[in-house]
Amino acid sequence: MKPCFNLCFLGFGNVNRTLVQLLENRSAELRERYGITYRITGIASRRLGWHADPKGLDPSSFTNSNSASSASSAVKNSAEVRDWLAAARADVLFEATSLNVQNGQPAVDHIRAALAHGAHAITANKGPIVHAYRELRDLAAKQGKRFLFESTVMDGVPIFSLFDQLPAILLQGFHGILNSTTNVILAEMEDGLTFDEALKKAQALGIAETDATHDIDGWDAAVKTAALINVLMCSKENDVPIRLDQIAREGIRDLTPQAVRNAKRDGWPFKLVCRARRTANGIEASVKPEKVLGTQPMAKISGTSSYIYFETDIFPGLAITEENPGLYATAYGLLADFVRAATE
């Protein structure tokens, strides 16, 4: 039996709360199949503050601010994530704070602190992969810990770990649909809504954020594209990680309802497409609206589904489709990373 893992959750919104539920639901399987037991010793968020107890916390007491404020084992007003990790005696950090497109902070510092502390770092935040992947990867290796991030692209679909199982393969490029919000908005525009009406409907359904700028202007898709390139297409020794400003980016804001409806009528619907490919001068990448032939698999992606098509030197085409995932899919990616870290 492995030692009991002390788990810490930084950011306690929908993703990490769902992960807590999933861990509880799968606790018997984790114990019996993998020999993994755990206790939750740290919970922190902007709203809740910093809470730690190496003997264990009851996550149900953090579901609202009133009960959280009365928790007996809170580390109040901690200015340093390192203090919190030390107080919780963290073995694993689940980092699920908000994305910062510009520099990936403070998530980069959170992960750096966890690895320096001696904990595995698992994140659903794409920013650190884009802005500090090599540094954090190398720090994890130095510390003998894992830095894992399966939930950053296509929720819990094992894209990154898939390529761990494909040794000595060269990824030549990929294309796909990686942002569900724009997919939903475009579908609503095809059905007759204006852009603003489609956005409001997506927000009402909980698919789009109140501020959907990152989605509709292509930032979310560009960050996911950069993450895939930096992890899967840049070699450890030679290739330089791609920057966001090197990805040609265009969102869907300027598409008119008439253009969207005409394209659908003609059998070439608009999709926000991510692309990357190797060239003689390096890696070229783009995110932009494209007309896609209606008979192609990518044209059939609807709702909150995602799709990616990889081109390798061995497999000419390797496609993955994710059908309308929910929060449990994202939480599952974090859980799967935890199992990998705990068993390797």
Domain boundaries defined on the chain: 5-156+327-343, 171-322
Among residues 217, 224, 230, which one has the least CA distance to residue 151? 224
The angle that helices 127-143 and 107-117 make with each other, rounded to 10 degrees, is 10
160 touches 232 (CB < 8 A)? yes
Average pLDDT over residues 33-42: 97
303 touches 187 (CB < 8 A)? yes
Among residues 72, 42, 45, 47, which one has the least CA distance to residue 59? 42
Average pLDDT over residues 111-128: 97
The yes/no answer on whether domain 5-156+327-343 falls in CATH 3.40.50.720 is yes
* DSSP 8-state symbol, 246: G
Question: Is residue 72 very low, low, confident or very high in pLDDT (cuts 50, 70, 90)?
Answer: very low
In three-state secondary structure terms, 270 is strand
124-181 pLDDT, tens digit each: 999 999 999 999 999 999 999 999 999 999 998 999 999 999 989 999 999 999 999 9
**Max avg pLDDT among 46-50, 67-71, 206-210, 223-227:** 223-227
Average pLDDT over residues 191-220: 93
Average pLDDT over residues 107-120: 97
254-292 pLDDT, tens digit each: 999 999 999 999 999 999 999 999 999 889 999 999 999
Tokens of 44: 């922190």
What was the pLDDT predicted at 236? 63
pLDDT of 83 over the 70 cut = yes
What was the pLDDT predicted at 78? 43
Tokens of 59: 């996550």
Average pLDDT over residues 305-313: 96
CATH topology of 5-156+327-343 equal to that of 171-322? Answer: no
In this prediction the pTM is 0.93
pLDDT of 67 over the 50 cut = no
Amino acid at 250: E
The 3-state secondary structure of 273-318 reads EEEEEEECCEEEEEEEEEECCCCCHHHHCCCCCEEEEEEECCCCCE
Architecture (CATH level 2) of domain 171-322: 2-Layer Sandwich (3.30)
- How many of the other CB atoms lie within 10 Å of CB of 203? 16
What was the pLDDT predicted at 340? 97
Among residues 126, 129, 49, 60, which one has the least CA distance to residue 83? 49
DSSP 87-140: HHT-SEEEE-----TTT-TTHHHHHHHHHHHT-EEEE--SHHHHHHHHHHHHHH
Which residues partner with 177 through β-bridges?
Answer: 307
| Residue 101 to residue 198: CA distance in whole angstroms | 25
Question: Is residue 344 very low, low, confident or very high in pLDDT (cuts 50, 70, 90)?
Answer: confident
| Residue 6 to residue 333: CA distance in whole angstroms | 19
What was the pLDDT predicted at 245? 95
pLDDT of 74 over the 50 cut = no
